[in-house]
Amino acid sequence: MKKILNQPAHYVDEMLEGMILAHPDIYAQPSRRVVARAGGAAEGQVGIVSGGGSGHLPVFTGYVGEGFLSACAVGDVFASPSAEQMAEAIRLADRGKGVLCLYGNYGGDVMNFDMACEMVDLENDISTSTVLLTDDVVSAPRSEAAKRRGVGGMVFAFKIAGAAADEGLDLAGVTAAAQKAADNLVSIGMALTPCIIPQHGKPTFELGENEMEMGMGIHGERGIYRSAIKTADEIADEMLDQLVSDQPLEAGARIALLVNSLGATRKRSFISFTAVSGPGSTLSG
């Protein structure tokens, strides 16, 4: 598969440099692999940070800005940022009201964010809280939801937490709003072609020319099954059936539906359906 790159090892840093240069009114890069709001975190508000591996644009850097994230830490493709980078993002987000760490449930991210929260507590006396996104219904059964991966659902959680912070809620209130969103999020993905990590230069798995894989994870984790490519209607019906069976909808429930490419370009075809719902909920705000 053809790609236009300079040095693969420089891919992430050059991507960030381009973003900052293109949108200096939105983004700033105070230190390597850390992106913050251009004007700094909002005064008098709870800060919100996220982070994780690159390769999923616009997550995570694309959601730094007013009403969303205060800052984020960025790792290599499919690799966690360091604990120090996460701690730096937390410091930049803090305005004395505490900081919510809001990110996907991946081992490296969890370990490093836990260390980062301990670091800023000891060194800077910054209060933090954590909400993990666990929306991928294929990655574990409902009875073990805490083991699920976080995928497209984090986009909803970023916005809902950001709105809560803008309304002036304290750290407990912003955390509760984010957790309510997380508890009502479900998603499922499917793949048509493999992805290629720039440093490796070859597909991470193989799919036949006329094959699809239902339920594949964002990094190519194994899905439910492989089959010949189905029609768009068949795929959509099956994905929605999976979501609704996992998170049943009551009469009058409101949902928000996101269909996205999991950061894919034309040559890397992933599709994810994510829904957030809740009876009598105001989450759509």
Residues annotated as part of the active site: 56, 219
DSSP assignment letter at 157? H
Quickly list DSSP for 267-279.
Answer: TS-EEEEEEEEET
Exposed/middle/buried for residue 261 (C-beta within 10 Å: 0-12, 13-18, 19+): middle
CA angle 219, 222, 223 (to 5 degrees): 110
Q: Which is nearest to 12 in space by CA: 60, 44, 45, 47?
A: 60
Helix (H), strand (E) counts: the chain: 6, 11
**Strand ranges across the sheet with 185-191:** 225-228, 211-214, 185-191, 270-278, 254-260
Structural contact between residues 125 and 107, judged by C-beta atoms closer than 8 angstroms? no
Exposed/middle/buried for residue 156 (C-beta within 10 Å: 0-12, 13-18, 19+): buried
**Strand ranges across the sheet with 47-54:** 27-31, 34-37, 71-77, 47-54, 99-104, 128-133
